[in-house]
Amino acid sequence: MGGNRVLVVGAGVIGLLSAYMLSRSGISVSILDSQGAGLEASWAGGGIVSPLYPWRYSQPVTALAHWSQDFYARFADELVPLSGIDPEVHITGLYWLDLEDAGQALSWADRQRRALFDVPINMVETAVPALSAGFSRALHMPGVANVRNPRLVRSLREALLRMPNVTLHEHAPVTEFLLESRQVIGVRSSSGDHYGERIVVAAGAWSGELLAPLGVELPVEPVKGQMILFKCAEDFLPSMVLAGGRYAIPRRDGHILVGSTLEHAGFDKTPTDEALASLRASAETLLPALRDAEVVGHWAGLRPGSPEGIPFIGEVPEHPGLWLNCGHYRNGLVLAPASCRLLADLMLGREPIIDPAPYSPAGRL
């Protein structure tokens, strides 16, 4: 068993980025996933580099989000030479329309020293000509970006494959944890037994099911979300817009993502006609021209729901060697950089970027 080998179970953005940050520090990493890398929530999400309503979250989520938002733009510059694939971090800004808690949002921004402005609706209509004329008030955060999450996954995967100290095992579902007394020393998978000094569970909505045979009751459950995709002109939507819990996200090539639903349906990922109709109605309420646009994609993914959306990051006290980086709920992409950096800091004995206590599995399981 290699003294510095880490096994990561799960090859979504959280697993891949955990492996990336550990491997860049000289650790040998093996990643295992039950299918191809990044094909679950990491592929299905919208990629907004902000919680949808950041002022409604607790400080632990805010701390991770702020660190990550400042990380993404330079991370794209780092990844492209390593992988040859641009994850398309697209800084468009975000308009919130007709918020009921706009005052709370502005107070939060003042306390957190974040750029958030109350703007006249006529200015928004000028900046976003496709916007419906039915709104009366807007808040604007100009620096918010979105990342094209399928491309981010591909870029991370390719960068990792080029690293000599990283091994990726796709289509290798983990069936069992290997123990010595209560210490976790490896995993059994369809590709054989794999051993490591530390094992990281980053399996998203499936993390709780994986841990249950160990007697670890992880409060992470699948929460279904459905999205639709339109194709428009590249200049159709210059900024992200959000109203009534639904958002529209522009990609650089004119694709427009509209999402998303919140459904407690177990592990069912079947797209439904009801959700399609609801999302189309929301899209047309926001951007009337989408009434004549073709839906070129409709899919569902499973978020890893957790209490208050606070992820679990750290070692499980009852099982030395077993580490968690999971339970990011709706904010996996925006929280990923800080979560994975915090995990690496804790594993490597470095000064952590933020206080790790709120995310620790100790006392939360």
Structure confidence at residue 70 (pLDDT): 85
Burial of residue 213 (number of CB atoms within 10 Å: 0-12, 13-18, 19+): exposed
Cβ proximity of 275 and 226 under 8 Å? yes
Q: What is the pLDDT of residue 328?
A: 97
81 in a domain, yes or no?
no
pLDDT on residue 228: 97
pLDDT for the residue 104 = 97
The domain that contains 197 carries what CATH number? 3.50.50.60
Structure tokens at 212: 């249950």
Is 78 part of a structural domain of the chain?
A: no
DSSP 147: E
Give the pLDDT of residue 73.
79
Check residue 274 and give its pLDDT: 96
Task: List, for the chain, all residue ranges whose pLDDT scores fall below the cut of 50.
Answer: 1-2
Domain count, the chain: 2
In a domain, 187, yes or no: yes
In a domain, 85, yes or no: no
Answer yes or no: is 257 within a domain. yes
Report the C-alpha gap between 149 and 160 in whole angstroms: 16
What are the CB-based long-range contacts (under 8 Å, 24+) for 69-73?
A: 69/143, 69/144, 69/145, 69/334, 71/337, 71/338, 71/341, 72/145, 72/147, 72/337, 73/145
Tens of pLDDT, residues 240-281 = 999 999 999 999 999 999 999 999 999 999 999 999 999 999
For 16, the token pair is: 């891949």
Structure token pair of residue 47: 């990629």
Is 74 part of a structural domain of the chain?
no
Domain assignment of residue 128, given as a range:
94-142+221-305
Q: Is residue 76 part of a domain?
A: no
Same domain, 166 and 201: yes
pLDDT at 362: 93
Same domain, 241 and 129: yes
pLDDT attached to residue 289: 96
For the domain that residue 248 is a member of, what is the CATH number? Answer: 3.30.9.10
